[in-house]
């Protein structure tokens, strides 16, 4: 089984939804540098992933591609 790379999934959904990393940083009230770190990480905290999923208006399962695995 291949592991999910959360950062890549988030990056793909940002592109799909036409959102920028800076917009995500503002929505999460964090720095753009922190968003860059999230996108490079294969693992992020569940509550962070949920906040990102909420911002992108997708489910956590969809964002992380859990059904794809």
- DSSP line for 6-64: HHHHHHHHHHHHT--HHHHHHHHTS-HHHHHHHHH-S---HHHHHHHHHHHTS-HHHHH
Residue entry with tokens 């939804």: 17
- Indicate which CATH number applies to the domain containing 12: 1.10.260.40
Domain membership flag for residue 33: yes
Q: pLDDT band at residue 65, thresholds of 50, 70 and 90?
A: confident
Q: pTM of the full predicted structure?
A: 0.89
pLDDT of residue 46: 94
Structural domain including 35 reads 6-68
Counting the structural domains of the chain, the total is 1
Domain membership flag for residue 1: no
Model confidence at 68: pLDDT above 70:
no
pLDDT (tens digit per residue) in 1-58 = 688 899 999 999 999 999 999 999 999 999 999 999 999 999 999 999 999 999 999 9
pLDDT of residue 3: 85
Q: Which two tokens stand for residue 60?
A: 């956590």
């Amino acid at each position: 089984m291949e592991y999910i790379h959360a950062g890549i999934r988030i990056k793909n959904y940002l592109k799909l939804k036409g959102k920028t990393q800076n917009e995500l940083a503002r929505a999460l009230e964090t720095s753009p540098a922190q968003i860059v770190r999230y996108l490079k990480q294969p693992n992020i905290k569940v509550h962070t992933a949920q906040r990102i999923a909420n911002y992108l208006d997708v489910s956590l399962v969809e964002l992380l591609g859990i059904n794809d695995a």
